[in-house]
């Protein structure tokens, strides 16, 4: 092994560590800006409740399902209520962060595109939060919905008039639904097979949970999906990898197997040994001989061709 290459590995690890810390700091900064912006626009309760009542009437005009009618059967099963509250409280951020970490490690190009998509969606959502403050159904008396978090637990929010850590009047769009849909889109893009569409279960369950818990209207999730589509269309498409895969064995990656072959020695000289750099691709006939054996017609034909080729190379040249 060449000792001159030894310092390269620690250097690469140091560069990778610095890049990871930079990405972590960037994501943390975006999250803090998001939280600060939400809190900054939390002083318009009366306007938010009025907008909530208007959204409720618009949904009835378009014959969307009644959120209260959807919540009512779930309230009779306390276990389902606890599961919905737990999903709302404990799955949103961990699922998004886990997806970003996995993409950063395994699919850096898709990670960058997903990070930009989430940042664009969050920025658009914050603009709507400022322009259209909206009380969730649980804080709008006209809906008749129950605040399942405060009644059954676990609760994410405190009383809205004393809650200084969050803006509870920022229901539209639902970033729970938007981020869950972004995670599903990213994971579908990097996984294969028909089962990859099961990732859509995450945003679907999230939509049902945010409505059941009284935290969002149906329109909040619809607007989040529309914003995500607009943001993703405006982003440049991630570059597709053009080089062949470098990990795994040839049988697993789909690339032909490789083998070592000793370089041809001139006539009268001993055959040279194969060096570590003498890696060549086997031909189609040679690959056919490996699983079948030397007695197959393909192998006999390949052996005859190689023998004739070697005799031609070893024949002395006449001038």
pLDDT in tens, 196-225: 999 999 999 999 999 999 999 999 999 999
Bigger pLDDT: 228 vs 242: 228
Q: Which of 50-54, 65-69, 192-196 has the lowest mean pLDDT?
A: 192-196
Residue 142 has pLDDT above 70, yes or no: yes
Task: Give the side-chain half-sphere CA count within 13 A for 58.
Answer: 10
Helix/strand/coil for 63? coil
Task: Find out whether 109 and 238 touch, Cβ atoms under 8 Å.
Answer: yes
State how far the Cα of 217 lies from the Cα of 51, in Å rounded to an integer: 12
78: pLDDT confidence band, cut at 50, 70 and 90? very high
How confident is the model over 240-293, as pLDDT tens digits? 655 444 444 444 433 344 444 545 555 555 555 544 444 444 444 444 444 444
Least confident of 61-70, 173-182, 230-239, 289-298: 289-298
Poorest-pLDDT segment among 32-41, 114-123, 148-157, 210-219: 32-41
209, 154 Cβ separation under 8 angstroms = no
Q: Could you tell me the two tokens for 155?
A: 């609760």
- Average pLDDT for 88-106: 93
More confident residue, 301 or 74: 74
- How many angstroms separate the Cα of 21 from the Cα of each of 14, 88, 309? 11, 28, 58
Is omega for the bond preceding 21 within 30 degrees of 0, making it cis? no
The per-residue pLDDT for 246 is: 42
> Which carries the bigger pLDDT value, residue 264 or residue 53?
53
Average pLDDT over residues 152-180: 86
pLDDT for residue 86: 96
Structure tokens at 2: 């060449």
133-147, 158-172, 242-256: the lowest-pLDDT one:
242-256
**Between 286 and 51, residue with greater pLDDT:** 51
Spatial CA neighbour of 122 closest among 25, 10, 224: 224
Better-predicted residue by pLDDT, 92 or 16: 92
Residue 14 has pLDDT above 90, yes or no: no
Determine which of 19-28, 131-140, 192-201, 302-311 has the lowest per-residue pLDDT on average.
Answer: 302-311
Rounded-to-5 percentages of helix, strand, coil across the chain: 65, 5, 30
Task: Give residue 307's pLDDT band: very low, low, confident or very high (50, 70, 90).
Answer: low
Mean of per-residue pLDDT scores for the chain: 78
pLDDT confidence of residue 214: 96
């Amino acid at each position: 092994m060449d000792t001159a290459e030894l310092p390269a590995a620690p250097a690469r690890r140091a560069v990778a560590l610095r890049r990871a810390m930079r990405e972590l700091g960037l994501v943390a900064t975006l999250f803090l800006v998001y939280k600060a912006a939400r809190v900054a626009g939390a002083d318009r309760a009366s306007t938010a409740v009025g907008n909530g009542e208007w959204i409720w009437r618009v949904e009835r005009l378009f014959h969307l399902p009644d959120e209260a009618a959807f919540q009512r059967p779930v309230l009779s099963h306390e276990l389902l209520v606890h599961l919905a509250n737990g999903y709302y409280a404990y799955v949103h951020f961990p699922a998004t962060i886990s997806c970003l970490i996995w993409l950063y490690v395994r699919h850096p190009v898709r990670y960058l595109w997903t990070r930009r998509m989430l940042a664009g969606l969050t920025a658009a959502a914050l603009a709507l939060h400022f322009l259209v403050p909206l009380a969730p159904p649980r804080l709008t008396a006209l809906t008749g919905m129950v605040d399942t978090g405060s009644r059954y637990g676990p609760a994410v929010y405190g009383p809205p008039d004393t809650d200084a850590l969050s803006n509870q009047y920022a229901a539209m769009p639902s970033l729970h639904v938007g981020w869950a849909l972004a995670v599903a889109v990213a994971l579908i893009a990097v996984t294969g097979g028909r089962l990859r569409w099961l990732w859509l279960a995450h945003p679907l369950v999230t939509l049902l949970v945010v409505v059941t818990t009284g935290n969002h209207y149906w329109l909040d999730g619809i607007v989040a999906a529309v914003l995500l589509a607009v943001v993703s269309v405006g982003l440049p498409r991630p570059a597709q990898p053009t080089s062949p895969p470098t990990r795994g064995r040839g049988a697993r990656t789909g690339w032909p197997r490789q083998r070592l072959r000793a370089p041809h020695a001139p006539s009268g000289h001993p055959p040279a040994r194969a060096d570590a750099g003498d890696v060549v691709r086997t031909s189609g006939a040679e690959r056919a001989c490996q699983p079948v054996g030397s007695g197959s017609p393909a192998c006999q034909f390949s052996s005859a061709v190689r023998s004739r080729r070697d005799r031609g190379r070893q024949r002395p040249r006449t001038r």
